[in-house]
Amino acid sequence: MYRAPVDDIAFALNEVAGLRAAIDDGLFPELGTDLVDAILNEAGRFAGEEVAPLARIGDEKGAVLKDAAVTMPDGWKELYRRWVEGGWNGLSLPVDHGGQGLPGMLGVAALEMWNSASMAFGIGPILTMGAVDAIEKHASEELKALYLPKLVSGEWMGTMNLTEPQAGSDLNALRARAERAGDGTYRIFGQKIFITYGEHDFTDNIVHLVLARLPDAPPGTRGISLFLVPKFLPGENGAPGARNDVFCSSIEEKLGIHASPTCTMIYGDGFAKDREPGAVGWLIGEENRGLACMFTMMNNARLAVGMQGVAVAEAACQKATAYAQERRQGKAPGHDGEGMAPIILHPDVQRNLLTMKTLTATARLISYSCAHATDMARAKGGDDARHWQERANLLTPVAKAWSTDVGVDVASIGVQVHGGMGYVEETGAAALYRDARIAPIYEGTNGIQAIDLVTRKLPQSGGEHVLGYIAELRADAEAVRASNLPEFGRSGEKIAAALDELEAATRHMQGLLADGRMSDALAGATPYLRLFAIAAGAAYLGRGAVAAKAPDRIALCRFFCENFAGEAAALRERACEGAESLAQAAAALN
Amino acid sequence: MYRAPVDDIAFALNEVAGLRAAIDDGLFPELGTDLVDAILNEAGRFAGEEVAPLARIGDEKGAVLKDAAVTMPDGWKELYRRWVEGGWNGLSLPVDHGGQGLPGMLGVAALEMWNSASMAFGIGPILTMGAVDAIEKHASEELKALYLPKLVSGEWMGTMNLTEPQAGSDLNALRARAERAGDGTYRIFGQKIFITYGEHDFTDNIVHLVLARLPDAPPGTRGISLFLVPKFLPGENGAPGARNDVFCSSIEEKLGIHASPTCTMIYGDGFAKDREPGAVGWLIGEENRGLACMFTMMNNARLAVGMQGVAVAEAACQKATAYAQERRQGKAPGHDGEGMAPIILHPDVQRNLLTMKTLTATARLISYSCAHATDMARAKGGDDARHWQERANLLTPVAKAWSTDVGVDVASIGVQVHGGMGYVEETGAAALYRDARIAPIYEGTNGIQAIDLVTRKLPQSGGEHVLGYIAELRADAEAVRASNLPEFGRSGEKIAAALDELEAATRHMQGLLADGRMSDALAGATPYLRLFAIAAGAAYLGRGAVAAKAPDRIALCRFFCENFAGEAAALRERACEGAESLAQAAAALN
């Protein structure tokens, strides 16, 4: 059963990602490290004691659709109620609307815990937070007053309605349509698919944010508008009133996260019999400017999905380690006791567990650093804010893609450590392997993340931002080297060498973009992102090990450097020199 | 839907793995390449038209246990019947007992096809073949006469009963016991778990091969004997007679291969009410020498499981490629048509598909080469036979571990190529991801394979066999270089460099073993195996490309060299220099 690694999380937040320094600088005046610890401990308790015990029934029973209503698995509604009562939904949401206004880093750390306990549970609030962001930044005061208090508390949940059958990664192809009703409201028509928590029995109302086109909208993404479409229209005092013309027509049978209802939503098909067809919606932001609003939702959601990767990896580590301590087979070096050795003493099993543990750690450190950047962008002003916003922009695709790839790989190794028992559903290792697989896909596939990183983030500030970031990481490599601790082995040199490769690849990519060689840049985007993550992850592990000077942290840093940092040269080659052979071989794909 | 890649398979068999040369040398006098093609075509037809359409129902309904009897999914019993009638079970089994006696390579190629169509179907006959091997090599003439004709034809199926709850990878811990009955037979008692096709309704009888201990047996693996325990005792003319005291008490709820019944088998618990408790068994081989018999079964089974890896990877490639040709999103370089581009034109999608395709190809080439070595060992005599047996021994763990790791990775990328549709069970991509995950675990985990490779196979012939193998592969690298085809890019150099790393790592590992530094060798075994597979796979791709001089094969070889061969240096480092940091970091695992 999952136990939140509260000390590890606190260490990562404070000593690597920058929370302690920000607190010391007075950026979060109401926050001390004591309060941080208290929050993390309580979140950890709730995740381990309340959420985790319901993960199994969630996987086995799943969400069930009947007559357009989704019933959640036994105990889940009450679980959500208790979670809301604990104030967790509003942890890092704005104080103005009833939130606690704590730094996003804390929200992200707590999110990791909910998702380690159950990804199917943890994904729901991510959508609500996205809706809060979009409404807060772009909606009218009236809409804010009506919806934000309930969404911030968690009394209602939100959804994001982007995807249509023909429009997944490519939003140009959206067809859902909106008509002006003449009274300032709109009527929405169309079908949306893959809508996470599109329908459920957790809350009395569900607030759908829906992308659609007005009749006179220009084609492509410049003709998309964002609408707020509640399941129940606001009645007296804003309480849920008449049923809106939107309903869930089916839910997907998925590989994992069975308790998360993935809905096909039908807008404007006459579901509400007592009125003209057309789901009543309110515009968020300006007409035809919905894409910008949507990016507000998506950016934070991308980091949040990255946290799901960290979370499932952490859960898999814990489960595999516990099993390896328990299970005995064969003789192993260093086992002097009677009978068979715990398999955790076999070097090959240790390699698996250490691979899991260090990959998980790098994903966590990169993701928390990304959250920190967002917090700093909010807390600072002027040029500083711009700097930190660029940092958040830079790290978001890396946090999303690397963490979710790590989630899949670590969950897979976790099954392997369990041997035959891993393939049997009873142990839960297989469920993590099933759950993990969605995270590299949703909120923008990892291929899209890599393309975003290379084509939109490397050019920030004329290319200087990313180079400045790499320079900062070099200080970590140097600190490792300068520590003169023999336990590091050659970690400092290896981190520095990986950063050399990253810088070379970065300049190469920037050159391709400058030369308009877009296709070559796209061809190398995925290996470039992996190189970025390995180099940054190694540097962050070094930063933590230098700060802690603890043998365990030093050893984990060294293990990662010796087993992953060495890939950097090959990755640079793949990223920078592979376009020609890729194009050549692509002809063989028929 | 799966279509057997008959041309690719024939090419791999003939031009890379050595079948054509062996035929030309007159080693298989009754076999011409025409017959090879005819067999492959017919196997491909059966796999695609008969097996594949039943895969889905197999996954959805699975095998069902009721009152100790397992019912297979609708249509599966008839499918198995047709498959047996086609003569497929005995394809490469001995002529003396009714088989067709064709080279094992053909059997392995056909096995790939059954397993691409349905891993849950394809695994059953693998166990029967293992039983045939063990009985043929080690059992009395009487047992052979009674059981081999039915097992070779497939009228009955066989099983392998090794694992017990406390004894998985470590057979020292076996507890199942056997007692001498005084009439030459034995009585078997105990519980076996994870018994594939331990019970089903395909055949009128099931022949269990069971490892157990005699009362006076020495401890450990030197006290294990192998017994033949039929579900029904031989009656008149060998027809199934009285029910034996063995039954299936439960079947596992597994991540995948749902139609393959994974049984807990109970021996000697009084299931047959009309007799004294104790399952009636017959000794195979000598008392206390069961381990050798078991290895006979396992060696071929390991290659066969490797073929499952190839098979599931091939199926995933086909599914993802078809989807990428169909699905349209966004703009892509080279798409001049109307509307959105098929996603197969996006470089990042191409990278995914080419990664899938080349990994699959290397796994196939290594596995077929392993099968070829076994054929040659049988066809040749004297020193040649020993040479080829060592080759088969060397390649078996690589074929098993690399191919099954590839199966998991490729199936995972296959889900990714499908985007959101990959996570929905309807497309079948997720089912491949679930099915694939068992293969790195059963028949010896991939960690065990790596240890076997390093500790038992590298020392063959005083260490010379593996070095001779590497030297042979150097000729392939040289042939690529000497071809002077610019389309190869620097493939020849890259293959040669990977082989340099492999040779250095091999000598290093041999040195560790010679120095008794077993723990260091174990620590590096897994990265060593990966290095071996990448270097060998690259060389085989080069061999095929030089033979064919076809642009597609050259391009695929180059893609693999540029994207995987570059890992070799880092892998050698991991394999040879990682033991210290592994041991150091292992202390952090608590």
Distance from C-alpha of A98 to C-alpha of A110, rounded to nearest angstrom? 18
Considering the domain architecture, whether residues B206 and B252 belong to the same structural domain is answered as yes
Considering the domain architecture, whether residues B110 and B165 belong to the same structural domain is answered as no
Give the number of other CB atoms < 10 A from CB of residue B49.
Answer: 14
Residue B286, pLDDT above cutoff 80: yes
At B525 the pLDDT is 98
Residue A443, pLDDT above cutoff 80: yes
Q: What tokens appear for B163 in the block? A: 């694992």
Using pLDDT thresholds of 50, 70 and 90, give the confidence band for residue B295: confident
Q: Any CB–CB contact under 8 A between A274 and chain B?
A: no
Give the number of other CB atoms < 10 A from CB of residue A511.
Answer: 14
Residue A214, pLDDT above cutoff 80: yes
Which three-class secondary structure state does DSSP give residue B483?
Answer: coil
Which three-class secondary structure state does DSSP give residue B98?
Answer: coil
CB A445 within 8 A of CB A169: yes
Mean pLDDT computed over A285-294: 93
CB B148 within 8 A of CB B93: no
Residue A478, pLDDT above cutoff 80: yes
Q: Which one of B420, B438, B451 has the shortest CB-CB distance to A348?
A: B451
| Contact check, Cβ <8 Å, A447/B573 | no
**Parallel/antiparallel/unpaired status of strands A206-212 and A157-161:** parallel
For the stretch B90-100, pLDDT in tens is 999 999 999 99
Is A535 among the domain residues? Answer: yes
* Phi, psi for residue A196 in degrees, rounded to 5: -70, 130
Taking alpha carbons only, the member of A566, A509, A563, A565 closest to residue A537 is A565
CB B352 within 8 A of CB B417: yes
**Parallel/antiparallel/unpaired status of strands B240-243 and B232-234:** antiparallel
For the stretch A42-51, pLDDT in tens is 999 999 999 9
Is B240 among the domain residues? Answer: yes
Residue A590, pLDDT above cutoff 80: no
Distance from C-alpha of A72 to C-alpha of A201, rounded to nearest angstrom? 6
Give the number of other CB atoms < 10 A from CB of residue A217.
Answer: 18
Taking alpha carbons only, the member of B435, B459, B457 closest to residue B313 is B435
Q: How far is B456 from chain A (nearest CA, A)?
A: 16
Where does a domain end: B288, B314, B335? B288
CB A4 within 8 A of CB A39: no
- List the single residue in A with minimal CA-CA distance to B334: A519
Considering the domain architecture, whether residues A462 and A540 belong to the same structural domain is answered as yes
Listed by number, the residues of chain A in 90-149 with a beta carbon closer than 8 Å to a beta carbon of chain B are none
pTM, two decimal places: 0.98
Which three-class secondary structure state does DSSP give residue A515?
Answer: coil
Q: How far is A325 from chain B (nearest CA, A)?
A: 9
Mean pLDDT computed over A281-293: 95
CB A508 within 8 A of CB A574: no
Q: How far is A553 from chain B (nearest CA, A)?
A: 8
Burial of A184 (0-12, 13-18, 19+ CB in 10 A): exposed
Is B282 among the domain residues? Answer: yes
Q: Which amino acid is at B471?
A: A
Considering the domain architecture, whether residues B106 and B208 belong to the same structural domain is answered as no
Is B297 among the domain residues? Answer: no
Considering the domain architecture, whether residues B125 and B222 belong to the same structural domain is answered as no
Distance from C-alpha of A84 to C-alpha of A125, rounded to nearest angstrom? 10
Considering the domain architecture, whether residues A129 and A175 belong to the same structural domain is answered as no
Taking alpha carbons only, the member of B329, B155, B436 closest to residue A416 is B436
For the stretch A302-344, pLDDT in tens is 999 999 999 999 999 999 999 999 999 999 988 888 889 999 9
For the stretch B44-55, pLDDT in tens is 999 999 999 999
For the stretch B173-224, pLDDT in tens is 999 999 999 999 999 999 999 999 999 999 999 999 999 999 999 999 999 9
Taking alpha carbons only, the member of B187, B350, B376, B349 closest to residue B281 is B187
Taking alpha carbons only, the member of A394, A356, A391 closest to residue A559 is A356
CB B524 within 8 A of CB B583: no
Q: Any CB–CB contact under 8 A between B528 and chain A?
A: no
Distance from C-alpha of B384 to C-alpha of B141, rounded to nearest angstrom? 29
At A532 the pLDDT is 99
Catalytic residues of B: 443
Q: Which domain holds residue B500?
A: 446-590
Is B262 among the domain residues? Answer: yes
Distance from C-alpha of A421 to C-alpha of A320, rounded to nearest angstrom? 11
User: Where is A71: in which H helix or E strand?
Assistant: strand A69-71
Residue B335, pLDDT above cutoff 90: no
Mean pLDDT computed over B139-160: 97
Give the number of other CB atoms < 10 A from CB of residue A25.
Answer: 12
CB B318 within 8 A of CB B8: no
Name the E strands within B197-239: 206-212, 225-230, 232-234
Considering the domain architecture, whether residues B162 and B145 belong to the same structural domain is answered as no
Mean pLDDT computed over A395-416: 98
Considering the domain architecture, whether residues A579 and A456 belong to the same structural domain is answered as yes
Strand partners, B445: none
DSSP A88-113: -TTTTS-GGGT-----HHHHHHHHHH
Sign for the pseudo-dihedral over CA of A353, A356, A359, A363: negative
Q: What tokens appear for A220 in the block? A: 């492509």
- List the single residue in B with minimal CA-CA distance to A575: B563
| Contact check, Cβ <8 Å, A354/B582 | yes
Residue A381, pLDDT above cutoff 90: no
Considering the domain architecture, whether residues A206 and A279 belong to the same structural domain is answered as yes
Provide, as residue numbers in chain B, all residues whose Cβ is less than 8 Å from the Cβ of A333.
518-519, 522
Taking alpha carbons only, the member of B542, B463, B457, B461 closest to residue B499 is B542
Distance from C-alpha of A441 to C-alpha of A449, rounded to nearest angstrom? 10
CB A191 within 8 A of CB A221: no
Distance from C-alpha of A561 to C-alpha of A548, rounded to nearest angstrom? 17
Q: Any CB–CB contact under 8 A between B574 and chain A?
A: yes
Give the number of other CB atoms < 10 A from CB of residue B34.
Answer: 8
Provide, as residue numbers in chain B, all residues whose Cβ is less than 8 Å from the Cβ of A318.
none
Q: What CATH number has the domain bearing residue B40?
A: 1.10.540.10
Catalytic residues of A: 443
Considering the domain architecture, whether residues B503 and B577 belong to the same structural domain is answered as yes
Tally the C-alpha atoms within 13 A of residue B330's C-alpha that lie toward its C-beta: 14
Mean pLDDT computed over A53-66: 98
Considering the domain architecture, whether residues B11 and B140 belong to the same structural domain is answered as yes
Number of separate domains in chain A:
3
Share of chain A above pLDDT 70, in %: 100
Distance from C-alpha of B509 to C-alpha of B24, rounded to nearest angstrom? 37
Tally the C-alpha atoms within 13 A of residue A141's C-alpha that lie toward its C-beta: 0
Residue B275, pLDDT above cutoff 90: no
- List the single residue in B with minimal CA-CA distance to A420: B441
CB A321 within 8 A of CB A344: yes
- The C-alpha torsion from A442 through A446 and A452 to A455, rounded to 10°, is -150
At A219 the pLDDT is 93
Distance from C-alpha of B11 to C-alpha of B116, rounded to nearest angstrom? 18
Is B398 among the domain residues? Answer: no
Is B360 among the domain residues? Answer: no
Using CA atoms, how far residue B453 sits from A149, B532, B536, in Å, is 63, 10, 14
Q: Any CB–CB contact under 8 A between A30 and chain B?
A: no
Is A295 among the domain residues? Answer: no
Considering the domain architecture, whether residues B236 and B144 belong to the same structural domain is answered as no
Where does a domain end: A288, A310, A329? A288
**Which of A326, A455, A584, A590 should we substitute to test contact with B (largest number of B Cβ atoms within 10 Å)?**
A584
Distance, C-alpha B252 to centroid of its chain: 21
Phi-psi region of A538 (alpha: psi -120 to 50; beta: other; left: phi over 0): alpha
Q: Any CB–CB contact under 8 A between B442 and chain A?
A: yes
Taking alpha carbons only, the member of A319, A341, A320 closest to residue A329 is A341
At B482 the pLDDT is 97
At A338 the pLDDT is 82
Q: Look-up: residue for tokens 């890599």?
A: A450
For the stretch A262-283, pLDDT in tens is 999 999 999 988 888 999 999 9
- List the single residue in B with minimal CA-CA distance to A169: B329
- List the single residue in A with minimal CA-CA distance to B350: A586
Question: Mean pLDDT of all residues in chain B?
Answer: 96
Where does a domain end: A255, A288, A321? A288
Q: How far is B279 from chain A (nearest CA, A)?
A: 26
Using CA atoms, how far residue A438 sits from A56, A407, A552, in Å, is 18, 10, 32
Tell me the ipTM for this assembly.
0.97
Distance from C-alpha of A64 to C-alpha of A56, rounded to nearest angstrom? 15
At B296 the pLDDT is 79
Q: What CATH number has the domain bearing residue B258?
A: 2.40.110.20
* Phi, psi for residue B335 in degrees, rounded to 5: -100, 105
**Which of A11, A166, A175, A255 should we substitute to test contact with B (largest number of B Cβ atoms within 10 Å)?**
A255
